[in-house]
Structure 1
Amino acid sequence: MSMKLSPPTRVSDPAISGAAQSHAAPRRPSPLLRSLWRKRFYLLLVVLPTLIAGIYFYGFAAGQYVSEARYLVRGRQDSRGASSLTEMMGAAGFKQVSEESLSVRDYLQSHDALHALKEGIDIVGLYRRPEADLLGRLWFADPPDEILKMYHGMMNTVVNDSTSGITTLRARAFRPEDAQRIAEEQLRLAELFVNHLSARSREESLRSARDELERAEQRVLASQAAITEWRLREQSVDPTGNAQIGMEGLGALEGALTGARAELQEKSSFMRPDNPQIVTIRNRIASLQREIAEQRRRMTHDGALPGQLATYERLALEREFANKQLASATLSLETARLDAQRQQIFLARVVEPNLADYPLYPRAAVTLLSIFIVLSVLYGIGWMMLAGIREHAF
């Protein structure tokens, strides 16, 4: 029995060579897949979050309308109290923002203003409208004050312009009428706060003037009582007048003494010393001298009259100062009353809250570009740090 031998296989056989090549060299991926694989971390950490944010902003985010209002806080200011630096800044176009304007801004950003806003309008309900998206709306139906203040501060801005002194208030909401209502309510609260500041300023001015007048009246009464007590104690109504009368009497006596001495000298020139007229004149001179000495002794006895004069003049000077203080305090009170009749601080509306026609927020393009740039920068920093670590490791 004979066997047939199969023909020998050759390496050049197409079927065998194809199978061998398929097992030896697998198919390689396309260049696009290789490029995406090399950039997988960049795509995952930068492109994917930006894409998700874009889907949210353009597909789900609700529009937010903005209502803008502007106001100016004015008050009576004394230009004489302005410093030269303030005048130079004003000439250069810079206007100093008043303390009242900054106070109003801080009040609108405070818990007190938020509580007053909650009492005036349903601020929580306005921030939880049905058309609001899940991420942009206020998440809590009864939020804590801190959460509500944080969200309200994100949806509202109050900015002072140092050049014009005008304050710009912007309120955001998911409906244009809601934004306008929030801005209007905040303006109303700002006006109430300014009126309160003005009332307190007027009350403080009047209270200070009344206190000064009361102190002046008490000083006048005390000085008058001191003079009355002195008069009763010294049994003298006006020691200054008494001293004036005494000085006038002493002057008259000294004048008579001078005249008598002149007459004696004149008659002694042609009369004998024992002449009765000469004796009479000498007796009159001696009497005048004794009277003058007695008058001087009474005026300066134990220093009583000079001491009385010093005490009385001090009391009279105190009464004069008290009367001047009383007159000045009365004038200050009248001035304060005139100032209190008009409002010292007031809020002037420059621009009323508008009703928006188009939602300005969220600014999708700007936000997406910012997200992409920030993530790219962070990715670049991380890649450089990782490359440095690998380089030092090997």
Structure 2
Amino acid sequence: MRAKINKRLWIAYTCCVLIPVLIIIFYLFAFAKDRYQSSSILLVKQVADAQVADASGLGALLGVSNTSREDSQILKEYIGSRDMIEGLDRVFDLRKEFSSVNDPVFALSKNASVEELVEYFNKIITVELDEQTMMLYVAAQGFSPEFSLKLNQEILRQSDNFINRISQTIAAEQQVFAKKQYQEATQQLDEARQAVLMYQNENEIFDPELQAKAIATLISGLQANLAQLKMEEHTLLSYLTHEAPQVVALRSQIDSVQKQINAESAKLTSPNNQKLNQNVADFEALKAQVEFASDLYKISLASLEKARLEASRKLKKLVVITEPRLAEDVMYPRKLYISITSFILLNIIFGIGLLIQSIVREHRE
């Protein structure tokens, strides 16, 4: 009875473990096609002008001013995206390349859909991001060393184009905005200048401030002259009477100078006529608008030139830390690892099955 049980156990072990392991080993060494891997390490570099808060370590060594986590994350997602795969397919005909070998497990189906191609591509392409250095590790597999190298190189080229295209799109949008701001600032400056010209023509005055300064200077001179005349009058009265011809003549000059002072002062602050000080205030407001519009014009012009400069150059690029190389050794499939792992897993599964069987048998008894 015991021999019978052992025989059954051996038959079950052979069917469940040994035969599957032998089939796997036979497939791996007889049918599985060798795959080679070419790898590279990338870094997204900001080449536009930027302020660096803390440049140290490898970032300072490479001159990387602003490598953001978002850029690296976006590039990682793009490499595995359908857009990237369709671009590579136009260059290499990926379906033909991945289905050209007779490998029912590791090769792609000849009639694979786009979705199947994307899924297969993401199995043979490894993209890992180092969260500390923001470096991307890219590994491409192929059934020949030459193809894996070409595939990795093309991934790098299209990734660089993608990063540059994004930055150029942003720069172009900034240029459109800067151009709009420049046009608005130009129009505002023209309107402010026209308002100044219209004010000068309507009031027949070039600059009220200059005219007010001239009048103030004239009044100051007249007042000095008036003070001198009054001093002479005081001197004459010390030895002449008020009716003396010299005193009368001097008083006439004093009255004339005083009237002229009053007349000139009235031009500045007379309540009966349009006050020159009001003209000065209005004209200063117009000049302030012109100056503001001129400053805004200068700023918008500088922004437009900066946007044009940024649009004409690369704002970001890929720094290839490690160039892809031609592989010499077979990397996949890892035949020994798969064989040993399969043997261990099948033994574990077989042991679990025996355990379950013994528990069920004990409950029945």
TM-score (norm 1): 0.75
Corresponding residue number in structure 2 for 1:248:
217
Aligned partner of 2:257: which letter? L
How far residue 273 of structure 1 moved from its aligned partner, in angstroms, is 1.9
| Letter aligned with residue 147 of structure 1 | E
Aligned to 2:241, what secondary structure does the other structure show? coil
CA distance in 1, matches of 2:269, 2:351: 106
Q: Which moved more, 1:198-207 or 1:54-63?
A: 198-207
The partner residue of 1:237 within 195, 206, 209 is 206
Match of 1:133 among 82, 94, 103: 103
1:260-297 superposed Cα distances (whole Å, 9 cap, x missing partner): 22122121112112212222222332333333223222
Q: Assess if the C-alpha contact under 8 Å between 1:97 and 1:162 holds in 2.
A: no
Aligned match of 1:123: 94
Alpha-carbon shift at residue 124 of structure 1 (Å): 0.4
2:99 alignment partner, SS class: coil
Structure number with larger C-alpha Rg: 1
Count of aligned residue pairs for this structure pair: 358
Question: Do 2:44 and 2:67's aligned partners in 1 also have CA atoms closer than 8 Å?
Answer: no
**SS of the residue 1:346 aligns to:** strand
Give the corresponding residue for 1:76: 47
- 1:224 Cα deviation from its structure 2 partner: 0.4
The whole-number CA distance in structure 1 between the counterparts of 2:345 and 2:314 is 51
| One-letter code aligned to 2:151 | I
Partner in structure 2 of residue 288 of structure 1: 257
Q: Please tell me whether the aligned partners of residues 63 and 361 of structure 1 are also in contact (alpha carbons under 8 angstroms).
A: yes
Which 5+ residue runs of structure 1 have no aligned equivalent?
Answer: 1-27
Q: Which runs of 5+ in 2 are unaligned?
A: none
Match of 1:297 in 2: 266
**In 2, are the aligned partners of 1:198 and 1:346 still within 8 Å (CA)?**
no
In structure 2, the residue matched to 1:325 is 296
> Structure 1's 187 and 261: CA in aligned 2 closer, same or farther, altered over 3 A?
same
CA distance, structure 1, for counterparts of residue 118 and residue 261 of structure 2: 94
SS of residue in 2 equivalent to 1:66: strand
Q: TM-score scaled by structure 2?
A: 0.80
Residues 35-76 of structure 1, C-alpha deviations (whole Å, 9 max, x = no match)? 465698887766665555444334432222222234443332
Shift of 1:316: 0.7
The 1:81/1:356 distance shift into structure 2, 3 A limit, reads closer
Question: How many angstroms apart in 2 are the aligned matches of 1:381 and 1:307?
Answer: 102
1:103 aligns with one of 48, 61, 74? 74
Q: 1:217 deviation in Å?
A: 2.2
Structure 1 residues 377 and 222: alpha-carbon distance in aligned structure 2, compared to 1, 3 A threshold:
farther
Q: Secondary structure at the match of 2:270?
A: helix
1:62 pairs, out of 21, 28, 33, with 33
- Cα distance in 1 for partners of 2:180, 2:151 equals 43
**Is the 8 Å Cα contact of residues 96 and 110 (structure 2) preserved in structure 1?**
no
Query: Separation in 2 of the partners of 1:221 and 1:77?
Result: 34
Partner AA of 1:189 in structure 2: Q
What are the superposed Cα offsets for residues 356-391 of structure 1, whole Å, 9 maximum, x if unpaired? 333211113333444455666677788889999999
Give me the identity figure in percent: 27
Q: Which residue of 2 aligns with 1:19?
A: none
